[in-house]
Amino acid sequence: MNIDEKLEKIQEGTLEIVDIEELKAKLEKEHPVAYTGYEPSGKVHLGHAITIMKLKQLQSLGFKIKILLADYHAFLNGKGQLDEIEKTAEYNKKCFQALGLSEDTEYILGSEFQIKGRYSLEYTNNVYKLATLTTLKRARRSMDQVSRHDDNPKVASVIYPLMQTADMPALGVDVALGGMEQRKIHMLARESLEKIGEEVPVCIHTPLLHGLDGDDKMSSSKGNFIAIDDEEDVIKDKIKKSYCPKGEVEGNPIIEIAEHFVYPYHETLLIERPEKFGGNLELSKDELCTMFDNEELHPMDLKNAIAKYLIEFFRPAREFMAENYKDE
């Protein structure tokens, strides 16, 4: 596969690549490094899965993948005590493996290099340098979509983006991948890394999924997600309860799930529909959107189809988790 073909593939399902020319240059390398950082989370859900799927694709295109289990970031973001967070990180690592990343994926616990080992001194020095270059307002603003809500915001919340920035040279990354909520941190990082003379990574942003309740963002804290290891009945139940207004494509979480978890892997979606409602359909992405928009496809029929696909899509992950992860 040549570089232009790779570029095109990488762009699929992303909202932006900053910068595309830089990415092109990175693709000259035999094994460019791509990374995503995740705050350990009680549940790994569809939102996380979007980025993991993209990482899998990058892996298949020759990228070396590093996953940062960002324990300190979670700690700074008020997610609990470090020992708890590290248990959660172990669980998340299993989840990521369950989604099919290959054996040579590298999982790195943030604290391992951020505060331990010889490199931590250089790391800390970078964080301090960044601290002198970054205004409070800019740092705060970068955290708009990332910070946990806090009536009494802590200094931790402005250290967070600085550490995230310092992570990039520490991990030697060519590409930083994240959801759109990472954008402001990434843009700040690109500016700052340039200033301190470190390599500036390409940033790739994927869309955020709406919550099943129609909220702007699917997130663990809001409970409006489907987890990658949810049981079949749970998936059915959650889909059934989801917000899905008739005729409305925009911001419809069920339509979004079809876009991100069905169509990248199947040309068409089979919708099984009772005869009295018109019988079965096999729809391409465009057909589905058009029909739904025209109210020719009832939400319930769509939901049934999506639930079925999701159950199949995550079957391997679910089985992997059942076998490899014993909750204590």
33-38/269-271 β-pairing = unpaired
Classify the C-alpha dihedral 288-294-299-300 as positive or negative: negative
Residue 242 binds to RNA (criterion: CB under 7 A): yes
Residue 244 binds to RNA (criterion: CB under 7 A): yes
Question: Which of 139, 203 has the CB closer to RNA?
Answer: 139
CB of 158: closest distance to RNA in angstroms? 14
Using CB under 7 A as the binding rule, the residues of this chain from 136 to 155 that contact RNA are 151-152
Residue 238 binds to RNA (criterion: CB under 7 A): no
CB 23 within 8 A of CB 173: no
User: 144: how many CB neighbours lie within 10 A of its CB?
Assistant: 11
Distance of alpha carbon 147 from alpha carbon 155, whole angstroms: 12
Q: In DSSP terms, which residues pair with 38 in a beta bridge?
A: 69
Question: Which of 74, 244 has the CB closer to RNA?
Answer: 244
Question: Which of 174, 301 has the CB closer to RNA?
Answer: 301
Rg (CA), the chain: 21
CB 138 within 8 A of CB 166: no
CB of 295: closest distance to RNA in angstroms? 9
Stretch that binds RNA, among 9-17, 160-168, 169-177, 272-280 (CB under 7 A): 272-280
- Outline where DSSP puts E strands in the chain: 16-18, 33-38, 64-69, 106-109, 175-179, 202-206, 269-271, 281-283
Residue 291 binds to RNA (criterion: CB under 7 A): no
CB 209 within 8 A of CB 256: yes
CB of 260: closest distance to RNA in angstroms? 19
Separation of CA 150 from chain center: 23
Q: How many residues bind RNA (CB under 7 A)?
A: 20
Stretch that binds RNA, among 172-180, 183-191, 300-308, 309-317 (CB under 7 A): 300-308
One of 86, 90, 181, 213 touching RNA (CB under 7 A): 213
**Which is nearest to 186 in space by CA: 195, 196, 176, 198?**
176
One of 155, 274, 275, 326 touching RNA (CB under 7 A): 274
One of 20, 25, 300, 322 touching RNA (CB under 7 A): 300
Question: Which of 58, 139 has the CB closer to RNA?
Answer: 139
User: 105: how many CB neighbours lie within 10 A of its CB?
Assistant: 18
H helix or E strand, kind and range, residue 72: helix 71-76
CB 91 within 8 A of CB 325: yes
CB of 226: closest distance to RNA in angstroms? 14
CB of 243: closest distance to RNA in angstroms? 4
Residue 240 binds to RNA (criterion: CB under 7 A): yes
Question: Which of 1, 300 has the CB closer to RNA?
Answer: 300
Stretch that binds RNA, among 27-35, 194-202, 244-252, 309-317 (CB under 7 A): 244-252
Site residues, RNA (CB under 7 A): 151-152, 213-214, 240-246, 273-274, 277-278, 298-301, 303
